Each structure stands twice: as structure tokens, then as C-alpha cells.
Amino acid sequence: MVLLHLVDLDPELAALRPLGGFFALRTPLGGPGGPARRLPTLARAYAETPQNAASDVYGDPLTFRVRKVSRTLRAPEDRIGASVAQQGLAARLWSVTLGCAVLYGRVPDLAPGLLRWDPDAGAPDDLWLTEVRARPGDAASVAETVLEGHLEPLSAALRARHPVAPGLLRGNAGSALAGSARQLDQWAGAHGRPDVAARARALTAELFTHPLLADTGTFLADTGTPTGTAFRRRSCCLYYRVPDGGVCGDCCFTRPPRSSPRAPSG
């Protein structure tokens, strides 16, 4: 059992900053009328539809984001942009939540209505938390925060717009979690924090028993548990289909497919 000293979540979540851009979270918003207050919440992004888009510059924020990613990648299909956009946001949400669970022993309430998001930002996704409210840092709370609170409604919203297979999106979720855990493990090793590494491994292993993640891929360590080593997913994120994209390090393919115009659905 990994014992962790619980500390209060500070208002700026400052312990996340040394971990890098995928882990850091902007908080609080600042004074009234600040530019971030005009950004859409993720709750709006998940609920908005192209037929009922708001009249501001973003319209339907999710469609805005997918089109931006597709243009940036020069993707031949918007479903590729949808996959990459989803995986990028998943990586941010996993990193913030897993990082807090490991370093603080608690996680902030990341309800979609509390998180503002800039669909026009680069990578990593720019997120603002309007209020820091602590929740437990156990695996069940982390899964509820990220999988149930965000990735399921995000996947539903994307699939309503694009022909993206649910298995592919679940694979993206697993890949993003494995990547966040690997970054934490590497940071812990570089900074002499075996407690952080052990906590991250244990928590990640428990998260991968969740029904939405259990069949998304395999850790290639001899023990079969997350230890910061390679993760091999069972689906493809479609990145190989962008110009000069190739395959990702955890892809189910060892080289870009040539015989089929479509990647496996997962």
C-alpha cells in the first residue's frame, strides 16, 4: 500500500506547474470582465449543436476546435481532427486530475461547467478553472471526474458530428492516461520522488481496470502493470492519415497501413 500525506489544494494548484504544460491549470479567472470569462465552458462545448450554435465567435465550440485541428494537421477528413482534438483534451484532463491525485491526495472538482476552454488555442489545450473545490483523490473519483464527467459526453458530442468509432475514442482515452502516467513517472525519477512514482503507478493500474479502459491497450512491462514503460493500444487514432503523420509510439500498427483507406474502428 502506498501511503500519501494529504495536503490542501492551494488556490493556484501550484504543485502542478513543475510537471509541464499538460498538467498546469489556470486558476482563478481573475477580475470581472477578464478575457477568459468570455470563453465557453466545456459544458457548453459538450451540449452545443451546430443547429443551435451561439452567436459569438466560436459558435459551436467543438466544431470550431475540430476544424482548427484539421486545418493545422492538413487532415483529409474532419474525423481525424476530431480524434486528435479529443485525445489532446483527454491528455489535459487526465494530467491535471492524475497529477493532483498523486501530489495532493485530492483532486479539484473539474465539472464541465467550472472549466472554461479556448477552442482557438494551440496545444496543450488552454483550460481555466473558475473555482477550486476539493474532491477525494482515489481512483473512483478520478474516473468519475474524467471519464464520466468529460470523456463520455465529449465522445457523444463528437460522434454526433463525425463518423468516429467509439472504440477509437476509448483507445484515445487509454493512450492519454498512459501518457500522463508516463510523464509523472519520468518526472518522479528525475526529481528523486519514488513516492510520487509509486502512487502514480498504483493509481493508473487501478484506473485501467475501469470498464471503459480495460480493453484499450496493454502495458509492455514484464509485470503487466503501468511502470512508465511502453503502452500498446488496440486501436489507431488515425494520425497516420495526415500528411507525413506516421504512426504514434503506442499505435496498434508498426507502420502506416497502405492497403485499407480506413483505420480499424477499435
Amino acid, res. 182 = R
Provide Rg for the chain, Cα atoms: 18
For residue 221, tell me if it sits in a domain. Answer: yes
Backbone angles phi, psi at 17, to 5 degrees: -60, -40
DSSP the chain: -------PPPTT-GGGGGG-TTT--B----STT-GGGGSPBHHHHHH--GGG--SSTTSSHHHHHHHHHHHHHT-SSHHHHHHHHHHHHHHHHHHHHHHHHHHTSEEE---GGGEEE-TT--SS--EEES---EEE-SHHHHHIIIIIIIIHHHHHHHHTTS---HHHHHHHHHHHHHHHHHHHHHHHHHTT-HHHHHHHHHHHHHHTTSTTTTTSEEE-STTSS-SSS-EEESS--SGGGSTT----TT-S-SS---S-SS----
For residue 5, tell me if it sits in a domain. Answer: no
What is the distance between the alpha carbons of residues 175 and 189, in angstroms, rounded to a whole number?
21
Q: How far is CA 46 from the centre of its chain?
A: 15
For residue 260, tell me if it sits in a domain. Answer: no
**Locate cell 483505420: which residue?**
263
Neighbours of 36 (CB within 10 A): 16
Instruction: Name the residue range of residue 92's domain.
Output: 14-241
Backbone angles phi, psi at 107, to 5 degrees: -125, 150
For residue 27, tell me if it sits in a domain. Answer: yes
- pLDDT per residue, tens digit, the chain (266 aa), is 444 555 688 989 999 999 999 999 998 754 444 557 789 999 999 997 766 666 566 888 999 999 999 999 999 999 999 999 999 999 999 999 999 999 999 999 999 999 999 999 999 999 999 999 999 999 999 999 999 999 999 999 999 999 999 999 999 999 999 999 999 999 999 999 999 999 999 999 999 999 999 999 888 764 444 455 578 888 888 878 888 878 787 777 777 776 444 444 44
For residue 30, tell me if it sits in a domain. Answer: yes
pTM of the shown model? 0.88
Please report the pLDDT score of residue 266 as a whole number. Answer: 47
For residue 2, tell me if it sits in a domain. Answer: no
For residue 218, tell me if it sits in a domain. Answer: yes
Of the candidates 249, 221, 245, the one whose C-alpha atom is nearest the C-alpha of residue 233 is 249
Please report the pLDDT score of residue 256 as a whole number. Answer: 77
Torsion, Cα 141 12 188 196, to 10 degrees, reads -40
Number of domains in the chain: 1
Count CA atoms within 13 Å of residue 88 on its CB side. Answer: 24
Please report the pLDDT score of residue 235 as a whole number. Answer: 85
Amino acid, res. 63 = T
Please report the pLDDT score of residue 95 as a whole number. Answer: 97
What is the distance between the alpha carbons of residues 190 and 47, in angstroms, rounded to a whole number?
41
For residue 72, tell me if it sits in a domain. Answer: yes
Of the candidates 203, 178, 69, the one whose C-alpha atom is nearest the C-alpha of residue 125 is 69
